[in-house]
Structure 1
Amino acid sequence: MSTVLPELASRSRRPEGATRFDVLGAISVSHFLNDSIQSLMLAVYPLFRSNFDLSFAQIGLITLAYQLTASIIQPLVGRYTDRHPLPWSLPVGMISTFLGLLLLAVAPNYAVLLLAAALVGLGSSVFHPESSRVARMAAGGRYGLAQSIFQVGGNVGTAVGPLLAAFFVMPHGQQSLSWFSLLALAAIVILSFVGRWYQHQHRLPKKAAPVAANTLPAGLVRKSLVILVALMFSKFIYLTSISSYLIFYLMHRFAIPVREAQLHLFLFLAAVAAGTLLGGPIGDRIGRKRVIWVSLLGIAPFTLALPYAGLTASALLTVIIGFLLASAFPAIVVYAQELVPGKVGTISGLFFGLAFGLGGVGAAVLGQLADLWGIDTVYHICSFLPLLGILAAFLPQRPSSI
């Protein structure tokens, strides 16, 4: 790291249009650190539930608090920075995540837990649209690959969270969360160097007309964006049913201990990371619409089978579901960026914000349903959501000439 980070900030010339893997690697590592903190928070829900005697609905509200602050502000940040780039917002936003994690470690009651979760979400609201912009700046034309490299860091971090919870936080208690503030500090350092590179790019002479024009009719663009939002609904509500409640579902249905359930969640999240890494470059090669179609509708047979599977089969099915489901998101983000050229921050903020917002609302609603009808019923209902993937058939084959 000591040799790579100064290189990011240097003014060394690279071939025009070359993919900057050093920059992509730095924001991917930062994404890993950011999302490992978020995943850690989700994975210690059983600890919060026992410490504060919480219901499923209250567990869902913790997710809602963190994901609403992440979702509502992200499009606003993206829209503003499309016009007024803020290179130093990356490390500044991570400071909010750092403070939120420290507050989680010492929270004495449920209200403070909600505030801490909101601070973690606030950090994400700045991090994701600006990091997605950096990924596109460093892509060298390989936009799907760049999004996958950026996003896979977050997915690996999300997968690591349950392991950290199982082997460190659960045995040592809530206050041990404070040690993971070191992850946020490391991200602040890395993002400071990324911010210097980002700032330098805006000082370079600009070439004429770098953004391709969109030749699609405005009505078709709007229709396509509505379809993408519906597909995001299908993807992230179902994803929330696994990430927020798989531990409780497995413990209830198969009477397994917390640590074993957390390991099952790790397998699912690791598959999500693998799917994210491959989804972008596959979309570059065969077309993003095909990836979206296969990823979302293709998981329906597996989600429909999951509520009836045994423990071993459940582990296998969740791995398949996680891999296929995750491959859609890099393709969706880049597809949407190509629908509206020149609005990278706005589109990135909108779709990352939707991801968090839908996940948060979904967690709250599913928590209420789990309290009313039981966690098994929730998994039966959610198993039908991927059937909405049929809407991908109505997307235009290629949004723009980018």
Structure 2
Amino acid sequence: MLAVGHACVDVYQGAVASLVPFFVAERAYSYAAVSGIVLAASLLSSVVQPLFGALTDRWAMPWLLPVSTLLGGVGIALAGVSGSYGLTLLFVAISGIGVAAYHPESARIARIASQGSHSAMSWFSTGGNLGFAVAPLMVGAVVATGGLRLTPVLVLPALAACVLCLPVLRELGKRQVAGSAAVAPAGPDDTASFVRLSLAVVCRSVVFVGLSTFISLYATQRMGGSTAAGTAALFVLYLGGAVGSVLGGALAGRWGRVAVSRWSYLITIAAVAGVLVAPGPALYVFVAMTSAGLYVPFSLQVTLGQDYLPSRIGTASGITLGLTVSIGGLASPLVGSLADATSLRTALAPLVVMPVLSWLLFRTLAEPNAPRLGARHGPESRAQGAADTTPVNGSPTQVQVG
């Protein structure tokens, strides 16, 4: 249920980039202007998500799941019918706040439900990636039919996700009433490793946000002006992420999260270069490789962050799922401005450097010796807590879930 709800929420992250070609076509926005829209979705999210993470470390707030989901959907629904560029930025920012509020608490609950399993957390992440993948198809089907005035239809996934949250909240309520398990000691934080991990995620985010913002326009140019070709490229970018997340969880169980992430970033270097130089339909192959390479480490980075900061799981989730990812949106206006001055291919070329930096940063990281589920919450949430001593391969040896 959490994975499907995650898919519904992340539709609205993918929807922002999916709306970019329609803003260009209907409103004649420049590359820099549409980059500003992506920035609006990312900037407030960058600030808000760690704040919500810190709050969930202190108090359990499961009610955030339906409330934040609805906020994310309403923002996107209104962005297309707003009468000005300023209102469009405002509504997209509201959607970004909703998405930001959702992730720390949902990641905390998912970690409890998964009992520390890397594979199970990868499925939770895959739900979000599938939401990304569906976004361009959904936005394309709705907006291409009736223009931006039909964006209110896009609120439907948010309504569905609110309904899906109800069984999760009921189950948590039952555990709170019946459970009495104590939370295990969290253990020491490895702040230095967490900072290096966060920098690696920032570099990954710059690549992904840059490509998701402009790959549709880039593929349209490369394929002779076909908007369908652009939508297909964005779909491949998002769908490859879903495959990569599942693959990452499986590979980490055998070789460890840090080693798998290093190899993924090495592959991504070649894949991004291929996007820039591959002729014709081969472009889609390299888009898929880039997406998989960027998403194999995605859920692994979330659990690594939680294990590097075991006393502040909500904060770690807010930073690895939110702040570092959203910071990638800050680079989008730079890419857009460079594209306006030169060309899209020239503007996208610096993205090749980012996975190189992520790989170098991961070379300085070590696998946590004993991942534990030990976030501390206030009295309201202790009955929902969990204790977990989990080896690197993700198979729990001792789990207590209240």
CA gap of 1:397–1:105, structure 2 versus 1, over 3 A, is closer
Contact 1:87 1:199 in 2 (8 A): no
| 2:363 match: secondary structure | helix
C-alpha separation between the residues in 2 aligned to 1:370 and 1:150? 35
Q: Which runs of 5+ in 2 are unaligned?
A: 373-402
Residue 11 of structure 1 corresponds to none
Question: 1:3-402, aligned counterparts within 5 Å?
Answer: 26-142=1-117, 144-214=118-188, 221-388=190-357, 389-402=359-372
Contact 2:32 2:336 in 1 (8 A): yes
1:172 partner letter = G
Please say which of residues 202-211 and 310-319 is displaced more in the overlay: 202-211
| 2:51 match: secondary structure | helix
What's the CA shift for 1:107? 1.0
What's the CA shift for 1:310? 0.7
Please say which of residues 99-108 and 205-214 is displaced more in the overlay: 205-214
Please say which of residues 50-59 and 124-133 is displaced more in the overlay: 50-59
C-alpha separation between the residues in 2 aligned to 1:139 and 1:190? 18
C-alpha separation between the residues in 1 aligned to 2:160 and 2:371? 39
C-alpha separation between the residues in 2 aligned to 1:83 and 1:67? 25
Please say which of residues 113-122 and 66-75 is displaced more in the overlay: 66-75
What's the CA shift for 1:232? 0.9
Contact 2:237 2:291 in 1 (8 A): yes
Task: Report the number of matched residues.
Answer: 371
Contact 1:306 1:383 in 2 (8 A): no
Please say which of residues 59-68 and 43-52 is displaced more in the overlay: 43-52
Contact 2:134 2:235 in 1 (8 A): yes
1:194 partner letter = V
C-alpha separation between the residues in 1 aligned to 2:279 and 2:210? 18
Identity of aligned residues (%): 29
What's the CA shift for 1:323? 0.9
> 1:181-203, CA deviations, whole angstroms, 9 ceiling, x for partnerless residues?
11111111112332232343344
1:255 partner letter = G
C-alpha separation between the residues in 2 aligned to 1:281 and 1:210? 27
Contact 1:293 1:392 in 2 (8 A): yes
C-alpha separation between the residues in 2 aligned to 1:333 and 1:394? 17
CA gap of 1:132–1:209, structure 2 versus 1, over 3 A, is closer
CA gap of 1:243–1:104, structure 2 versus 1, over 3 A, is same
Residue 4 of structure 1 corresponds to none
Contact 2:243 2:292 in 1 (8 A): yes
2:87 partner letter = V
What's the CA shift for 1:211? 4.1
Contact 1:133 1:344 in 2 (8 A): yes
CA gap of 1:134–1:363, structure 2 versus 1, over 3 A, is same
C-alpha separation between the residues in 1 aligned to 2:172 and 2:182? 19
What's the CA shift for 1:287? 0.9
1:169 partner letter = V
C-alpha separation between the residues in 2 aligned to 1:134 and 1:281? 21
C-alpha separation between the residues in 1 aligned to 2:292 and 2:227? 24
C-alpha separation between the residues in 2 aligned to 1:200 and 1:285? 35
C-alpha separation between the residues in 1 aligned to 2:369 and 2:331? 29
What's the CA shift for 1:401? 4.5
> 1:84-127, CA deviations, whole angstroms, 9 ceiling, x for partnerless residues?
11121211112212321331232111111101101111111111
CA root-mean-square deviation:
1.8
Please say which of residues 351-360 and 52-61 is displaced more in the overlay: 351-360
Q: Which runs of 5+ in 1 are unaligned?
A: 1-25
1:386 partner letter = P
What's the CA shift for 1:346? 0.9
> 1:197-223, CA deviations, whole angstroms, 9 ceiling, x for partnerless residues?
234334444434524524xxx6xx232
Contact 2:194 2:309 in 1 (8 A): no
What's the CA shift for 1:255? 2.2
Contact 2:206 2:328 in 1 (8 A): yes
C-alpha separation between the residues in 2 aligned to 1:96 and 1:135? 21
Contact 1:90 1:192 in 2 (8 A): no
